A and B are shown apart, each in its own frame.
Chain A
């Protein structure tokens, strides 16, 4: 064996002869304490960060959507409604499309009519019901900018509040008045006494002396009001003994 190898063996023996140290008695307890502390730290920090990262985007998205909805609704509610005028005693809802309907109720010659007191939505939305009672949105829209003297466009929709007949109905006289016709109703229909110049009825060719027997296939009867949701898009009249249908044309 060479000297070098002998020296190496000697060194190796010296090292192997060193007394081994042992870990202290509380060694394992110390390790477990550290593990517990690290675990607590991890449970406090990681999940919160992960949760924040995981839900930040969806939460922001929801907030953005919710915020825009709230803003949109507030704008609609605050700026687009005409407050009711008069005592609002007429128990109907009027549903209007964008850009349609009267622009100046107070200028109407029939402003004292009960129908003139119906609040009207001039909003930009598709439609909105304004009523003391219930309403129904039939989603009509129209580009017609006709000014209706009585403040409503009966061609759109009128809802008689959904109440039982007699309680929530509108009289045929009032309905026809909305399109400019003054009538005298009886059991057989409503006789036209006058047609207001420039009204939609005049444009449709309704004349004094006509007997209006039905509105949109609803037979007229002075003793019974019109209930439910209805429009006035055509009138059935009797003129000179002839029965004919007149469409309420747009101007």
Chain B
């Protein structure tokens, strides 16, 4: 079970979650008691990690922000039902993951119903059928070189069952245990999926791995 403390990434580096003097659970208790400012503190802690997670999952900044905001709204109205036997980070990533998966399904339905979507899928390199998001990125500064764009696109083509743990582990820097909790999977299965996801990415990014960075 994940602890509600600052996390260290796989390499021992400090991850993006900020240092905390008040635990998430204490903040939640304050929100339950009507302290709106405490909810602001929760948002300030998690808005960037959740937005980044959703952006990497959807490869669409506007949708990522929209779903991130929706994530916090869901959290707010579900705080009374939240059980503190899980880390809050696990809880909020799980909500964000579910929203992201639901969004993917909506995209699929839209695509199947649209001739344009069918034609686009011919060129898609998805492992499973998945219409790519061809809209221009909202902020080109966020992905400032071709390499980053290719990596982002490659991640977006992974099946969700590999995409979520890869993003949580390698981009968000969550521990294997945290990832397992979010996915509701055992630790071994989680590690296996992360490994498999990396293998799929390697196949897509072979040219870039043998490039000047090597």
Contact = CB atoms under 8 A, between A and B. Distances in A.
B40 A28 contact: yes
A24 interface: yes
Contacts of A11: 170, 198, 201-202, 205, 209
Instruction: Identify the interface centre among A18, A24, A27: most chain B CB within 10 Å of its CB.
Output: A18
Contacts of A1: none
Interface string B129-164: 000000000010011100010011001000000000
B108 interface: no
Interface string A7-51: 110111011101111111001101100110010000000000000
Interface of B: 9-11, 16, 40, 43-44, 47-48, 50-52, 55-56, 61, 64-65, 68-70, 72-73, 76-77, 139, 142-144, 148, 151-152, 155, 166-167, 169-171, 173, 195, 198-199, 201-202, 205, 208-209, 213-214
B65 A14 contact: no
Interface of chain B: mostly helix, strand, loop or mixed: helix
A35 B56 CA distance: 25
B55 A21 contact: yes
A35 B151 CA distance: 35
A22 B142 CA distance: 9
Interface of chain A: mostly helix, strand, loop or mixed: helix
B92 to A, nearest CB: 12
B142 A21 contact: yes
Interface of A: 4, 7-8, 10-12, 14-16, 18-24, 27-28, 30-31, 34-35, 38
B55 A38 contact: no
Contacts of B170: 11-12, 15-16
Contact of A31 (B64, B72, B173): B72
B198 A23 contact: no
A4 B72 CA distance: 39
A31 B55 contact: no
A10 B171 contact: no
B205 A18 contact: no
Nearest to A29: B69
Contacts of A7: 198-199, 202, 209
A31 B10 CA distance: 32
A20 B173 CA distance: 12
A10 B199 contact: no
A10 B143 CA distance: 19
A19 B142 contact: yes
Contacts of B77: 35, 38
